Amino acid sequence: MLDTKVVSHMMQGRDADLLARLTQLPVSQVVISSITLAELEYGLHRKGQPVRLKNAMAQILLRMDVLPWDESVARCYGELCATLEARGINFSDLDMMIAAHAVAVDATLVSRDRAFTQAADRLRLEVW
């Protein structure tokens, strides 16, 4: 499961190493959370929907599934938030929602945010 920063960097197309790593993965194994899609849509609208980025996002979405945030993910979110908060670990709400989504669907979260390593006992993480 790719987080928002990873997909955003893909859309910008300026990170050859990232693109090379992604091409090594089977397309069927790469997904994003509907929360990531929401963040990307917000970013596009905030920037006035630049054509290049809008087209880049459309191309990316042709190659990966967007997983819905459903009841089981919501339940995982509540438990994960409470567990991490009790240990003094806090992420932004959207980052926590994406992390919970990855945990709920048993996916590895691919991120550029090392803060997620604080939840390594619950979250499979690869920092690219």
- For the segment 13-39, the average pLDDT, to the nearest whole number, is 91
Q: Which helix (H) or strand (E) holds 32?
A: strand 31-33
Asked if residue 126 has pLDDT above 90, the reply is yes
Place of tokens 């693109």: 19
Phi, psi of 97 (to 5 degrees): -65, -40
79 phi-psi bin (left φ>0, alpha ψ -120 to 50, beta other): alpha
Place of tokens 């567990």: 83
Q: What is the pLDDT of residue 89?
A: 94
Amino acid (1-letter code) at residue 109: L
Write the class of the CATH domain 4-127. alpha beta
Domain boundaries, the chain: 4-127
Among residues 123, 127, 111, 34, which one has the least CA distance to residue 84? 123
What pTM was computed for the model? Answer: 0.92
pLDDT digits (tens, 9 = 90+) for 31-80: 999 999 999 999 999 988 789 999 999 999 998 999 999 999 999 999 99
pLDDT digits (tens, 9 = 90+) for 93-105: 999 999 999 999 9
Work out the pLDDT band at 8, boundaries 50, 70, 90.
very high
